[in-house]
Structure 1
Amino acid sequence: MDIFLRNTNYRKFSLASWLSSAGNILFYLALMTYASRLKNYSLALSLIAITESLPNLIQSLSGYLADRTKNKYHVIVWLAIIRFALYLLVGLLFATNISGWNLVLLVIGLNFISDLSGKYSGGLQTPLIVSLVGENEMSEAQGFTNGISQLITMIAQFAGSGLLLFMSYSGLAIVNAITFLVAGIIYANIGMNVKKQEVNKQPEEVNTQKFGATIVSSLKQVKQANGLLTIVLVIALLNGLLSTVEPLISIVLAGNKNMLIGNYSFTIAVVSTVAAIGMASGSAIGTKIFKNTSLFLIVLADTIATITLAIAIIYGNIFASLFCLTILGFLAGIVSPKLLQWLVTTVDRKILSSSVGLLNTILVMAGPLTTTVFTSIASATNITYALYGIIILGIAVFIAISIVLLKINKAD
């Protein structure tokens, strides 16, 4: 939080990011609510989910384009204006006589274009944030921003459901549009401030390699950092297990009424809330508390929390499960910013966005893969076998990380 308070430009950057995120969540809820009232609502909701997830899978490409972009502040401002225009158009569409599937398909298409623009904008922002806060402060700064963003997400979800009671879909789309316009103005202000502060400015470095060569170069630099590639793959696996735990808990709760707190829906809400609070507090507070703690030690603790959580679920203790899930979320919230810091200090600045995009793609892909595997085991055999599988995998990861850590300490 210190860097947020003392760095004016970074504070403005964070506020612009939070503002546009809140607007996006409000609109997403409105779109999902509208789609849920269609005749074939399951197909509509599936299309929305697919188009929302697809941009996450091409972050390495959007990061590559960002690395090749000059005048990044200028482009970020224009992207914010484009997204403002897109959602203004969406607001107008909701206000017309178009209805049903025709409207939903148009809105999904425009929303998809906006999401692609958002990933490109995110890639542009990464090296700019590093230049604002410095490499050594990147973990704490990004952790605080991510933590507050997660809290805003929770608040916006509740606020969105309340706003839908008296606001139209068109109104929420226009609110979202305005958030991007305001964010664009803030980014423009930061850009002007930075330009005034830069004396004897060096020429801006941009990546001139082709996409394939950039990815190869990024992987080579990551491999040169002892243990970084291993820790990336392990964290991807742990993030996947974290995303797997919630659906497995929902299956267990459906069959074990003794674990319910009140009723099923309330218990599921509590599970989601404690996981989100854990991640938010880990990002916002934990990154500062454990700033000088080895990432390997945090990952080892994360692995132990995963194993303990699976054991608590097997024994049907809901309160122990919630406690372990909170700890797991807290540690996961610390891991991502610390990993980003390591990456920032390892790869060349001109391919930083490509490297971060590649990292995020790996992390995103791990969730659906592990969830599919363990939920399939649960449905094909028994939920207990899936939980035992998580324990065995957790032990294997713990042993692997311990061996890598011993090798690194021995080399040092």
Structure 2
Amino acid sequence: MIAYFLDNRDLFMKKILKNKLFMWTYLADTLSNFGDVVYYLALMDYVLQLPNPTLAISLVTVSETLPYLTMLIMAVCADQTKNKISRILWTQFFRVSLYVVMGLMIGFSPALWIVGVAIIINILSDLSGQYENALYTPISLRVIPREDREALIAFRQGTSYALQLVFQSLGALLVTLLGYQQLAFLNAGTFFLSFVIMCGLRPFLQNLLDKNPIQMPEEASNEKVGQIRKLTGTLRNAVQTLKESSSLLRLALICLTGLNAISAAQTPLILFIMSQNKDFVLGSSAVTLALLSSIAIIGVVIGSVLTSTLFKETSLNFLLIASVGVTTLCFLGLFSEHIILVLVFQLMSRIMNGVMMPKLQTMVFNSIPEHQLATVGAGIDTMVTLGMVLTPTLLSGMILALPVRLLSFLFVLLSTLLLGYTFREAKKE
């Protein structure tokens, strides 16, 4: 087993290092992600310097959730865009300009109006980032060969989660060492480096597109059609494409939507149990919460590595059943108020998710027409994350009215029903 793992790991790394275009585009994306992490930490620290930070904190929190509502619109616009590489460069340069302006503004003494400007810049940057990512989605089909997609997507997922820990730690250090103005300029610098890298890659990417042009939606090619009709037409066709997709893909999306909705209750329930049961900790509540956060990232990283090794030939059917099954066991651990069981099953759940997501994303890439890929992908993201917003909202009210054991039992029941549905439908496949 160990020899098999090592042999596949070496093959996995050779595939990654051999694909220079993938590595350079991933580096450009990683640089901008680092800048975003540092800027967000700096903004939150800046807000705390205000005499009355409550309103500013509320505004920043709302600004972080607004881009979720625009994901689908940005994807539709990207699918309608013809010259995608040039537009990617413009979005990157636009974000450089935004944070240069922010660097000039944040040099003044802390004030609410500066926070307002920072929030507007943050929203514009997020919208631009959504548009840029959607523009790159069909281009990635040429950068990542079909046979290597699962392995490279798994690598990107695993390293992205691992780098989150590094970026947060390094970002916290930089916030303490540098001023807010320098950090804003640092963020502008990371986007400028990404812009320079993409300028260098442009001839190679354009060569790929010249050999195999991206098919455009019919609405985009018809200049006489109005913008609103283009958007609605693209959305309508994307919904129809998803309806006509494979039954396994539809099952995976339904299962993942339910799984995310149910799993979103775990952290609030853990906090609720901690407030009532002082023994529901390992060491202390702070240590336990830190472990939960670390396990979430470590599990996905492990799962990403195992995707191309131990679970390379594992079917998506099995992974769906295993993911829901482990989540059910996690809620049983919450019902029994046994923190070690919760931590173990949380880790197993995140590992299963880390394995499943690259396989699911590869299936979407391989089954959805490329001119609808960004729109359908954004629609899927919106659908599967909707429950992650609704469940904590509903649970916040239920906590006030129901005892914690009853709530835990309710989610054991819901996860068991989802497991039964997933098992029944997966058997048909």
On whether the aligned pair clears a TM of 0.5, the verdict is yes
Instruction: Specify whether residues 369 and 33 from structure 1 end up closer, same or farther in structure 2 by C-alpha distance, changes over 3 A only.
Output: same
What residue number does 2:217 align with? 207
Instruction: Specify whether residues 286 and 359 from structure 1 end up closer, same or farther in structure 2 by C-alpha distance, changes over 3 A only.
Output: same
Alignment counterpart, residue 155 of structure 1, candidates 151, 160, 166: 166
In 2, the alpha carbon distance for the partners of 1:118 and 1:298 equals 31
Residue 70 of structure 1 deviates from its aligned partner by 1.8
What residue number does 1:195 align with? 206
SS of aligned partner of 1:257: coil
In 2, the alpha carbon distance for the partners of 1:288 and 1:374 equals 38
What residue number does 2:384 align with? 363
| % same residue | 26
Q: Does 1:226 align with 2:240?
A: no
Give 1:60-139 correspondences, 5 Å limit: 60-97=72-109, 99-139=110-150
1:377–1:383 contact (8 Å) kept in structure 2: no
In 2, the alpha carbon distance for the partners of 1:219 and 1:345 equals 17
What residue number does 1:171 align with? 182
In 2, the alpha carbon distance for the partners of 1:376 and 1:301 equals 31
Please give the TM-score of this superposition, normalised by the length of structure 2: 0.90
Residue 150 of structure 1 deviates from its aligned partner by 1.4
Instruction: Specify whether residues 170 and 279 from structure 1 end up closer, same or farther in structure 2 by C-alpha distance, changes over 3 A only.
Output: same
For structure 1, the residue ranges without an aligned partner over 5 or more in a row are none
Question: Deviating runs (4+, > 6 A) in structure 1?
Answer: none
Residue 307 of structure 1 deviates from its aligned partner by 0.8
Q: Does 1:23 align with 2:22?
A: no
Instruction: Specify whether residues 390 and 147 from structure 1 end up closer, same or farther in structure 2 by C-alpha distance, changes over 3 A only.
Output: same
Residue 284 of structure 1 deviates from its aligned partner by 4.2
SS of aligned partner of 2:282: coil
Deviates more, 1:366-375 or 1:305-314: 366-375
SS of aligned partner of 1:289: coil
Residue 202 of structure 1 deviates from its aligned partner by 4.4
What residue number does 2:406 align with? 385
Instruction: Specify whether residues 336 and 376 from structure 1 end up closer, same or farther in structure 2 by C-alpha distance, changes over 3 A only.
Output: farther
1:287–1:337 contact (8 Å) kept in structure 2: no
Residue 288 of structure 1 deviates from its aligned partner by 4.8
Question: How many equivalent residue pairs?
Answer: 406
2:235–2:375 contact (8 Å) kept in structure 1: yes
Instruction: Specify whether residues 375 and 139 from structure 1 end up closer, same or farther in structure 2 by C-alpha distance, changes over 3 A only.
Output: farther
In 2, the alpha carbon distance for the partners of 1:130 and 1:245 equals 36
For structure 2, the residue ranges without an aligned partner over 5 or more in a row are 1-11, 220-229
| Cα-Cα RMSD | 1.9
Which letter does structure 2 place at the counterpart of 1:271?
Answer: L
Alignment counterpart, residue 333 of structure 2, candidates 312, 328, 333: 312
Instruction: Specify whether residues 296 and 36 from structure 1 end up closer, same or farther in structure 2 by C-alpha distance, changes over 3 A only.
Output: farther
Please give the TM-score of this superposition, normalised by the length of structure 1: 0.93
In 2, the alpha carbon distance for the partners of 1:233 and 1:41 equals 41
